[in-house]
A = this chain, B = another copy of it.
Amino acid sequence: MTIKIGIMGYGNLGKGIECAVKQNKDMELAVVFTRRDPEKVSVLTEGVQVCRAEDVKDWVGKIDVMILCGGSATDLPVQTPELAKLFHVVDSFDTHAKIPEHFGAVDQAAKESGHVALISAGWDPGMFSLNRLYANAILPEGHDYTFWGKGVSQGHSDAIRRIEGVKDARQYTVPVPGALDAVRRGENPELTTRDKHTRECFVVAEEGANLARIEKEIKTMPNYFADYNTTVHFISQEELMRDHAGIPHGGFVFRTGKTGWNGENNHIIEYSLKLDSNPEFTASVIAAYARAVYRMAQDGTAGCKTVFDVAPAYLVDMTGEEIREKLL
């Protein structure tokens, strides 16, 4: 008996899910749904059907967990509550400010239909959130620090591409080494936005474009760049394709805190990720949570869940005896 997985949306994340399913022997890919013409979408897994997104209802009862690979801006706020009426689902909704609203909509749909819907799986939100929670539980008196990178920010790359005269761009978020070190030494520094991260931009300009203007527009862009030390490198399209094709990311979650009758002892908890492929790692987290969703559903659970609600034992394809013997 394998867990039959459906994928809704076949972009970078959907492909990552397909690869993750291949690595998990207790799962199989049942179907991929796309809003494109299914004839024009070819998947990697032999024998797997590609279907139209609007035909998803035909698959009720034929898949165990549907994984939603759309974007948080417009896809998931609609798709997750809709599909939670039909399937157990997992998404990677990552608009932090809108999580309460999303949770409410999904929870209602999942509870009414008796499904388990896990939202915001991935690494941030996801593994970073878990590490913040565990560390806060252990050290109630302390300081939290999260650093991101070195990695590609899709949102910032897109913002640069919208500037007139820009053909293509890739933006890296980079943690400031000195700030990381100060936190790691337990100095509990007060860090501004500028102290924590720098932004490095690789820009392909259109021929004849005013480079000085583009650079200035980038560096002064509110929210995205104005609060950071930003460097801009103009490169050719060939260089961009050759040197910046990957989607690496990662980051660091710290909590520093005190224990002892008078707070005399210091402790530093650090979690870090160094990822060659942001979407594939996110997909790997989601696959583990799809297993958990399947099992929680078998227990008779229903409603919207987050990583905080999932007992870790549900995530691995091992019995209780095995995990106590091998991992405890």
**Which of A's residues lie within 8 Å of B, judged by CB?**
16, 18-20, 22-25, 44, 96, 99-100, 103, 120, 125, 127, 129-134, 136-141, 186, 259-261, 265-277, 280-281, 283-285, 288, 291, 306-313, 315-317, 320-321, 323-325, 327-328
Q: What residues on B are CB-neighbors of A327 within 8 Å?
A: 129, 132-133, 136, 308
Given A265-B277, A312-B308, verify A130-B140 contact (CB < 8 Å).
no
Docked-complex contact A23 and B316, CB < 8 angstroms: no
Q: How many copies does the complex hold?
A: 2
Interface SS, A side: helix
Contact A324–B308 (Cβ < 8 Å): yes
A328 lies within 8 A of B270 (CB) = no
Given contacts A100-B325, A324-B99, contact A23 B137 (CB under 8 A): no
Interface centre among A16, A266, A267, A316 (most CB of B within 10 A): A267
Query: Is the pair A284, B132 in contact by a Cβ cutoff of 8 Å?
Result: no
Closest to A247 in B: B265
Q: Which one of A24, A25, A275 has the greatest number of beta carbons of chain B within 10 Å? A: A275
Given contacts A19-B261, A24-B140, A133-B315, A267 and B288 within 8 Å (CB-CB): no
Residue pair B138, A323 in contact (C-beta under 8 Å): no
On whether the beta carbons of A280 and B306 are closer than 8 Å, the reply is no
